[in-house]
């Protein structure tokens, strides 16, 4: 329990990535995020302006949005849509928002 608390603290402060925090806690990435939801831990601190800025940015090259939409539609119709089904980032989850002052969480920022 202490390792999980430390992982939440360090990750919430942006000192380590969510992937590193999951490893510190001894959980898979999905289990770590699910536990954060269960315990109502806010790992990502973004205000409305940051979110608006992020959604107006163009997608990175190589992202096939139509393929993602089709995959989501298939999963929804099959009743099996889960976040862990999508390999959108190296740690199997969509990347969180980033701002010029705050590096993208999940990037190796020299943390533990």
The domain in which residue 71 lies consists of 60-97
Q: How many domains in the chain?
A: 2
The answer, as to whether pTM is greater than 0.75, is: no
User: What's the mean pLDDT in 56-72?
Assistant: 86
pLDDT band at 92 (very low <50, low <70, confident <90, very high): very low
Indicate the pLDDT class of residue 54, thresholds 50, 70 and 90. Answer: confident
State how far the Cα of 13 lies from the Cα of 7, in Å rounded to an integer.
Answer: 10
Distances (CA, A) of 47 to 26, 36, 87: 30, 19, 26
What digits encode the pLDDT tens for the residues 12-41?
988 999 999 999 999 999 999 999 999 999
| 1 lies in the same domain as 40 | yes
- The answer to the question of residue 53 being in a domain is no
- Integer Cα distance of 34 and 32 in angstroms: 5
Whether 3 and 38 share a structural domain: yes
Same domain, residue pair 91 and 65: yes
């Amino acid at each position: 329990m202490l390792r999980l608390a430390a992982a939440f603290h360090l990750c919430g402060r942006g000192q380590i990535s969510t992937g590193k925090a999951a490893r510190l806690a001894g959980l898979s990435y999905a289990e770590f995020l699910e536990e954060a939801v269960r315990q109502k831990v806010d790992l990502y601190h973004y205000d409305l302006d940051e979110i608006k800025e992020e959604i107006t940015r163009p997608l990175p090259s190589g992202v096939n949005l139509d393929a993602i939409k089709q995959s989501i539609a298939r999963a929804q119709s099959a009743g099996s849509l889960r976040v862990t089904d999508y390999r959108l980032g190296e740690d199997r989850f969509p990347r969180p928002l980033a701002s010029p002052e705050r590096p993208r969480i999940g990037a190796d920022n020299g943390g533990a």
